[in-house]
Structure 1
């Protein structure tokens, strides 16, 4: 189905479903407060009053050292990177409805290898319409001008600079709650537009074959078994349409897929809060030369409140992702994350994190396995000023005849954030 027609149908369905669909207190999960969520009014700022709106400006700056900026196994290159990241949010203060605007610029200046210096831009807006008791509509959009990390498996390794791309997205959703039942429907359109890169030594690295639009439609039916526990069924459909088609490119990379999940959402006593779901996913490709991808699906996000000062978070997911590698239909992305936040002092939070990833490519013989770890500490120096220091470790092993680069990466640095 053509993307524009599909999106129109999806949003039409959203509006119709709005008479029977959104949020409410029966499904609130605010019994517990994690370390990262805990308010600290003595260190927080109130922003700038603009009448019916509040302006929340901030500036983050910092310096870090990376011992392998190109993510290579051998002939590694290190560098110091200076960061400056101004951002602002304008948020409404209305008793009903909500309107929000955001903008940011994120510049990273490499002090030795200046060709790696990048600047990302983001502008966006979100709105919520409270149409009545238990019924709300949400919609918004965002535009980002981004640079692809050197660690991305789809990015070419022989370009003089990181690959740039634009990402534009719009979304709409409706949610309806009646007694113990909540029904939600959402639709999102994302448009990717990649820029060609320059090859080291001359030539052009063409990236137009990666330009695509992705439409996602998601529906969820949830039933509250008790005030602190609910069960749900969730169904999602996606349509992925590439701009370039044969004979301009060798293969038709268009695909569509679905995901079916059953799960539970809970906030039990003062110990644990989260959501866990399992199910099945399937992605079917137009080209007979690109194998379909299917298998079990999982999504988990669980917080354990060991004490009021310590929060343990465990996350996991399994999803189908697109690949820019020739011959690959895509890959199954398996991710796991284990994090501990500890409030050592009122103004000092320490965080330790372990990550694991396994990308199983289809259509080519390749499997990427990643391990990572981060230790950080955030000190609130005074109202509106915070200092974060961190160490990051990343390791990738790529297996198979079409395997990519193995690498190990160490990074240490600090950032200072100023808020008004």
Structure 2
């Protein structure tokens, strides 16, 4: 599920970049987790994915003051191009099991949340692609007063990099593993129509080396890094239907010392943008910003990255049961490709959600991502088409089907992966006790 990029949530990660996780995105995806509504009362309409259906929501188990919601998602599917290459295309079936546990301490002044997830993927033949990942995250929402709130979040997890990612080494026998440790703090204060927010995020990534077919080590330590990002937002509500905001962020990306022909990718960068969060009549709602971004690399070996920043989303309520959402996101991402330090990524998505029945939601989306690499002559274009359906039988049982089609092309003197792949999957989610 792709939540719409609302103002507050989107601004927190304005300058945070990362590598996609290889958690299989398929029929075991979470269901029924609606995103929060827009700020300043822009809630005239409710999107399909936001609409609440309490008769199908899992019922938590109460243990004292705590609410526990256990669940397990079980899915099976087939990937027709497991290694994301032109040839030879090797397919395989897989089993995906994701047990989760959510613990909430509800309180009007101090709400605490803890989530644990274990992600297990097993393939029928290609056991080298098997994955055992996990993550633990939590948060605290503290209401100091009606005007001031504090949010703290933390994350630790082990993940694997998708074969489809641009910096996934083609020769490694197993997907590259890495861990993430992250902590975020945010303070929000409202002065009548003016709301200000400050966010500090610290993320550490540690990559494990891979091995090729001969057992030789494929070095990935040079990708280890710590990223510190500070973001400030000021938003002024002109009316309950529209607000204007300005946002600025600054990041420091500190890599492990590098000895060799390619220096460490240490850099500092910033983003500056202005935008609006709006609700136009009864049909359109969104948040858009435009500005400038730049990432400056400490070593002159790497060229700086700069360009126009565009980010946001627009929802169109075609009918009460059909929501169309368009998103755009332009940012600087890190990469582990030798000779390059990063790339400018432009991602555009169009999604449609249809509530066919109260307990049956159909979704379809198309996404294009363009990557322009620095320092090397290489540009990638990736298209992703996806269709899915979620059918809730009861508060405890939900069925899901998912079809994904992805292709990637690359041009330049330093070509990247070119491939086409299709994945189909079916799953069931069991929630509660």
Distance 1:381 1:26, change over 3 A: closer
Conserved? CA contact 2:246–2:275, under 8 Å: yes
Structure 1 stretches of 5 or more lacking a match? 1-23
Alignment match, 2:348: 336
- Which residue of structure 2 aligns with residue 104 of structure 1? 117
> Deviation at 1:26?
7.0
How big is the shift at 1:63? 0.5
Q: 1:31 aligns with which of 21, 44, 67?
A: 44
Q: Within the alignment, does 1:397 sit opposite 2:409 as a pair?
A: yes
Residue 274 of structure 2: aligned partner: 262
In the alignment, the residues of structure 2 paired with residue 26 and residue 160 of structure 1 have an alpha-carbon distance, to the nearest angstrom, of: 47
Match of 2:386 in 1: 374
Alignment of 1:229 onto 2:234:
no
| Matched-pair contact (CA < 8 Å) for 1:212–1:242 | yes
Partner Cα distance (1:145, 1:42) in 2: 35
1:72-128 CA-to-partner distances (Å, cap 9, x unmatched) read 001010000100000011111212221111100111111110110001100011001
Find the partner of 1:290 among 302, 308, 319: 302
CA distance in 2, matches of 1:402, 1:328: 11
Please give the alpha-carbon distance, in whole angstroms, between the structure 1 residues aligned to 2:51 and 2:205: 36
Q: Under a length normalisation based on structure 2, what TM-score does the superposition of the two structures give?
A: 0.89
Whichever of the two has the greater Rg, that structure is 1
SS at match of 1:387: strand
Structure 1 residue 345 displacement after superposition: 1.5
2:358 is aligned with 1:321: no
The farther-off stretch of 257-266 and 198-207 is 198-207
Query: Cα gap change, 1:25/1:417 in structure 2, threshold over 3 Å: closer, same or farther?
Result: closer
In structure 1, which of residues 57, 61, 85 is the aligned counterpart of residue 74 of structure 2? 61
1:8 matched to which residue of 2?
Answer: none
Deviations 1:185-211 (A, max 9, x none): 001000000001111122010111000
What is aligned with 1:356?
Answer: 368
Aligned to 2:149: 136
1:42 matched to 2:65? The reply is: no
Cα separation, 1, equivalents of 2:295 and 2:65? 46
Q: Counterpart of 1:419?
A: 431
1:158 paired with 2:182, answer: no
Root-mean-square deviation (CA), in Å? Answer: 1.4
Q: Give runs of aligned pairs for residues 192-211 of structure 1, distance below 5 A.
A: 192-211=205-224
Unaligned runs of 5+ in 2: 1-36
Q: Deviations over 1:370-397 (max 9, x none)?
A: 1110111111112221111121100000
Deviating above 6 A after TM superposition, structure 1's stretches of 4 or more consecutive aligned residues are none
1:82 aligns to 2:106 (yes or no): no
> Contact (CA 8 Å) 2:230, 2:250: kept in 1 or not?
yes
8 Å CA contact retained: 1:263, 1:275: yes
Return closer, same or farther for 1:401/1:219 CA change in 2, 3 Å cut-off: same
Q: Distance in 2 between the 1:99 and 1:406 partners?
A: 45
Q: Separation in 2 of the partners of 1:244 and 1:137?
A: 35
CA-CA distance at 1:51 after TM superposition: 2.4
Partners of 1:90 and 1:273 lie apart in 2 by: 32
User: In the aligned structure 1, how far is the partner of 2:261 from the partner of 2:146?
Assistant: 52
Other-structure match for 1:20: none
Partner residue of 1:272?
284
SS in 1 for 2:88: coil
Distance 2:151 2:417 in 1: 42
* In structure 2, distance between residues paired with 1:360 and 1:378: 36
CA distance in 2, matches of 1:409, 1:234: 38
Distance in 2 between the 1:78 and 1:250 partners?
Answer: 35
In the aligned structure 1, how far is the partner of 2:261 from the partner of 2:60? 51
Task: Tell me if structure 2 keeps the 8 A contact 1:209–1:249.
Answer: no
> TM-score w.r.t. structure 1 length?
0.92
Equivalent position SS for 2:85? coil
Partner of 1:182: 195
Is contact 1:292–1:329 with CA below 8 Å preserved after alignment?
Answer: no
SS of residue paired to 1:124: strand
Alignment coverage as a number of residue pairs:
396
Q: State the shift of 1:25 in Å.
A: 10
